Amino acid sequence: MTAALYDRFRRVRAETLALAAPLSEEDCCVQSMTDASPVKWHLAHTSWFFETFILERFERPFHAFQPAFRMLFNSYYNGVGDKHPRPQRGMITRPGLAEVLAYRRNVDERMAMVIGEGAASSGLGELVELGLQHEQQHQELVLTDLKHLLSMNPLKPAYAQRGAVHATLAPEHRWIGFDGGVVHIGHAGDGFCFDNELPRHRQFVEPYALSSRLVTNAEYLAFIEDGGYRNPAVWLAEGWDWVRNGGNGESGGSGAIEAPLYWHRAESGWQEFTLHGMQALEPDRPATHLSFYEADAFARWAGARLPTEAEWEHAAASCPGDIDPCGIAQLFGVSWQWTSSSYSPYPGFTAPRGAIGEYNGKFMCNQYVLRGSSIATPAGHTRISYRNFFPAYARWQFSGIRLARSAWKA
């Protein structure tokens, strides 16, 4: 098990580096908004996580790579002590990228020692797994934060060249019905899960139906062309304020919101900024980079609604292999799917003791749950019970829409 654990450790850590490989020192250093972090910070913070929560406890004697990093790369753990303010993560030009990469290598070597010795250590395996899952979360953020940074550049540079692209056809749209009743929700089995997926518990779900696929760009464009962004009747009151205020200054602009985050209306037609640069909008691709407000407004305009997270999870659990035997496509690997559920603790939830208990619980307020996973989610980092969460205004993540309907009143 030690060898398997170390092998997994090595592979996950290498994947983070691979994501940063095409980037310059400058690309890695800059913070484009408070919600996003520099790539270099992600590289350092994920190492900090292993050093702080594992090496401090298991390495004998413990030698900090650089004691100042304990504060510098602490994200939000009050239990660890002081932390560098989040809006100033981009000020850290030193340590430079080279030193942060040396920090990574140092932590990797020390972790190799600890994992090698650690078969008998109480709790080591669980903590390493948590650190790796944490690192995978940041792998996705590396891509979404970098995409936002590049989008702020008027030259609209590309992160990567695009390979051969095959025309995408949207799967057929159908409503898939579910009977509901008392269902079991939350992580089952022995595998890893985050604390917020527990405890497994029962919920009562009324009969409902889910859309067989995600909303496409063409469908979202119809909403725009029907005046969706100018019609308060389809928006939550808070969403309408967000539209009129231009997303509270998102991107420094002052006008009203008129389209998804990265859409741009050119003379030649709609374009979309992607990790490959500006591209003509592809009508059959799932619409993405939408806020909760936009997802909710689209659903209302379409005569539908967003699913609850229990509805989503129950449906996903009915699909063996996650691949669609029940007819539900695009559950994973395309776009995160906004649910109508505010992020809150499951009945009986208790956060772990100590700083690690700050991982999830303290964010359970005024955020909405997204389910599934996205094109940027690392392979193997998906679960039916996975609960992603962001504030209602956030749209720099790969976030899209799956529609739902209540069936029980029909």
The minimum distance between CB 342 and its own copies, in angstroms, equals 3
What distances in angstroms separate CA 352 from CA 64, 146, 195, 198, 355, one per listed residue? 25, 32, 8, 12, 8
The minimum distance between CB 155 and its own copies, in angstroms, equals 6
Q: Looking only at residues 201 through 230 of this chain, which bind its own copies when binding is defined by CB under 8 A?
A: 201-206, 208
| Residues 210 and 403: beta-carbon distance below 8 Å | yes
The minimum distance between CB 76 and its own copies, in angstroms, equals 7
Sheet holding 263-266, edge to edge: 263-266, 269-274, 277-280
**Looking at beta carbons only, is 79 or 227 nearer to its own copies?**
79
| Residues 45 and 138: beta-carbon distance below 8 Å | yes
Grouping H, G, I as helix, E, B as strand and the rest as coil, residue 371 is: strand
The minimum distance between CB 382 and its own copies, in angstroms, equals 26
Binding its own copies (rule: CB under 8 A), the pick from 8, 57, 96, 125 is 96
**Quick one: which segment of 52-60, 166-174, 328-336, 363-371 binds its own copies (CB under 8 A)?**
363-371
- Asked if 238 touches its own copies (CB under 8 A), the answer is yes
Outline where DSSP puts E strands in 188-268: 201-205, 208-211, 263-266
**Quick one: which segment of 19-27, 50-58, 109-117, 209-217 binds its own copies (CB under 8 A)?**
19-27
**Looking at beta carbons only, is 1 or 182 nearer to its own copies?**
182
The minimum distance between CB 23 and its own copies, in angstroms, equals 8
**Looking at beta carbons only, is 60 or 409 nearer to its own copies?**
409
**Looking at beta carbons only, is 11 or 265 nearer to its own copies?**
265
Name the H helices within 180-308: 217-225, 237-244, 246-249, 292-301
Q: Looking only at residues 157 through 176 of this chain, which bind its own copies when binding is defined by CB under 8 A?
A: 157
Q: How far apart are CA 144 and CA 18, in angstroms?
A: 15
Binding its own copies (rule: CB under 8 A), the pick from 131, 186, 239, 372 is 239
Binding its own copies (rule: CB under 8 A), the pick from 29, 111, 128, 295 is 29
Binding its own copies (rule: CB under 8 A), the pick from 8, 84, 174, 200 is 84
Can you read off the two tokens belonging to residue 237? 């009151």
| Burial zone of 167 (CB within 10 Å; 0-12 exposed, 13-18 middle, 19+ buried) | exposed
Q: How far apart are CA 395 and CA 388, in angstroms?
A: 13
Pairing, β 336-342 against β 399-400:
parallel
- Asked if 254 touches its own copies (CB under 8 A), the answer is yes
- Asked if 144 touches its own copies (CB under 8 A), the answer is no
What distances in angstroms separate CA 76 from CA 79, 153, 167, one per listed residue? 9, 29, 43
Binding its own copies (rule: CB under 8 A), the pick from 301, 364, 375, 382 is 364
Can you read off the two tokens belonging to residue 208? 């409902």
Can you read off the two tokens belonging to residue 134? 């944490």
Can you read off the two tokens belonging to residue 265? 């209306």
- Length of the chain as a residue count: 410
**Quick one: which segment of 10-18, 75-83, 105-113, 214-222 binds its own copies (CB under 8 A)?**
75-83
- Asked if 182 touches its own copies (CB under 8 A), the answer is yes
Binding its own copies (rule: CB under 8 A), the pick from 93, 109, 230, 266 is 93
- Asked if 30 touches its own copies (CB under 8 A), the answer is yes
Can you read off the two tokens belonging to residue 147? 């995409």
- Asked if 325 touches its own copies (CB under 8 A), the answer is no
- Asked if 303 touches its own copies (CB under 8 A), the answer is no
- Asked if 236 touches its own copies (CB under 8 A), the answer is yes
The minimum distance between CB 344 and its own copies, in angstroms, equals 6
- Asked if 141 touches its own copies (CB under 8 A), the answer is no
Binding its own copies (rule: CB under 8 A), the pick from 74, 196, 291, 341 is 341
The minimum distance between CB 201 and its own copies, in angstroms, equals 6
Name the H helices within 193-331: 217-225, 237-244, 246-249, 292-301, 309-317
